[in-house]
Amino acid sequence: MQIGQRLRELREAKNLSQGDLEHRTGLLRCYISRVECGHTDPQVETLEKFARALGIPLYRFFYEGEKLPEKPILPPAKRAARVWGASGKEWPELRRLSKALSRMNDRRRRLLLAMAQRMAIRSRVK
């Protein structure tokens, strides 16, 4: 099922017009119409706006049943070795690194990546 068709069904089930949805979401009526007709695919953030405006949980766009879908039984996750950046303690360093990388040009970024790859290979050999 397409998202647009599902949006129209949910909107009509709540007896709302596209204008009502426009006022509740802040999105233009022409955009809502384009989504419902299948000409535009909304982003997740836009789907969240639609869900809030309709007073429904987000999963209802993808699931037609009345009850919550059953959670799948997944195999237990393997415990990974301690990875740098996995906890919140390294957040300030990661933030500074991302800022520095955003200021670098492409050539310097490739050089940094090549150096990191060589260091990783050397640490595996030892």
Q: How confident is the model at residue 26 (pLDDT cuts 50, 70, 90)?
A: very high
- 3-class secondary structure, 17: coil
How many Å apart are CA 2 and CA 36, to the nearest integer?
Answer: 9
pTM over 0.85: no
- 3-class secondary structure, 24: helix
User: Hey, CA dihedral for 116, 120, 125, 126, is it positive or negative?
Assistant: positive
> pLDDT, tens digit, for every residue of 73-108?
888 776 656 666 666 777 788 888 888 888 888 888
Calculate mean pLDDT across residues 58-68: 80
* 3-61 has CATH 3.40.50.720 classification: no
- Annotated domain spans of the chain: 3-61, 98-125
